[in-house]
Amino acid sequence: MSPRFTSQRSSPTPEVPMRKADIVAFFDRLAAALPEPKGELEYSNPYTLLVAVVLSAQATDVGVNKATRGLFAVADTPEKMLALGEEGVRQHIRTIGLFNTKAKNVIKLSRILVEEHGSVVPQERAVLEKLPGVGRKTANVVLNIAFGQPTIAVDTHIFRVGNRTGLAPGKTPLEVERKLEKVVPPNRRLHAHHWLILHGRYICKARKPDCPACIVNDLCAYKAKTVA
């Protein structure tokens, strides 16, 4: 996923809410440009996706992928991860921030999955959030990508895009998530998460948004648009 949220002081100032017709056009254009968006974390099953997302907290997808290629080659199930052990996990993910804590969480959640869930990743947000290292954002990512649920995981990119564009202004990630759930057209809910993350990561960037290359810049309420 993405780096942690900036503080509220440095968060983008919410713009005026975008009009409903503009929101529809906003997502129609993103869908036309990228009909089947995909997440950038590498995984082979719901379990490896869960582990990858847990490891991605305060880390980049690129960095996580480099570490998990070797890890998942030897441990792609909870049982194999437990057999590898905490030290074995730690050795594979040493290049990722907070690797000691993350290694502990991966082993703990793997043990819970084996002992309480028959080694199957739960498909309920509340149950997922009880796993070590799993918060609302992580749970939403897993539910969306692994199980096709139309959840929206608000990371730093979606938080910025939601506020900057006026799509879903809010002071907290949960507020932005709730507003997106209300305004995103039903036929766009499944992929909205990916479209917004990719848009924020590559176009509507934090320091300097690439407004000239933005396909929705005429719909955006951002007052300080950049020019070529």
Alpha-helix residue ranges (DSSP H) falling in the chain:
20-33, 46-55, 61-74, 78-92, 99-117, 125-128, 136-147, 156-165, 173-183, 189-202
Does 22 qualify as catalytic in the annotation? no
Which amino acid is it at 97? G
Q: Is 11 helix (H, G, I), strand (E, B) or coil?
A: coil
**Residue 204 assigned ligand-binding role:** yes
| Among candidate residues 35, 12, 34, 29, the one with its CA nearest the CA of residue 219 | 29
**Residue 220 assigned ligand-binding role:** yes
CB 219 within 8 A of CB 167: no
**Residue 87 assigned ligand-binding role:** no
Does 137 qualify as catalytic in the annotation? yes
Question: Active-site residue among 22, 61, 102, 155?
Answer: 155
Which residues are known binding-site members? 204, 211, 214, 220
What are the binding residues for [4Fe-4S] cluster?
204, 211, 214, 220
Q: Which residues are catalytic?
A: 137, 155
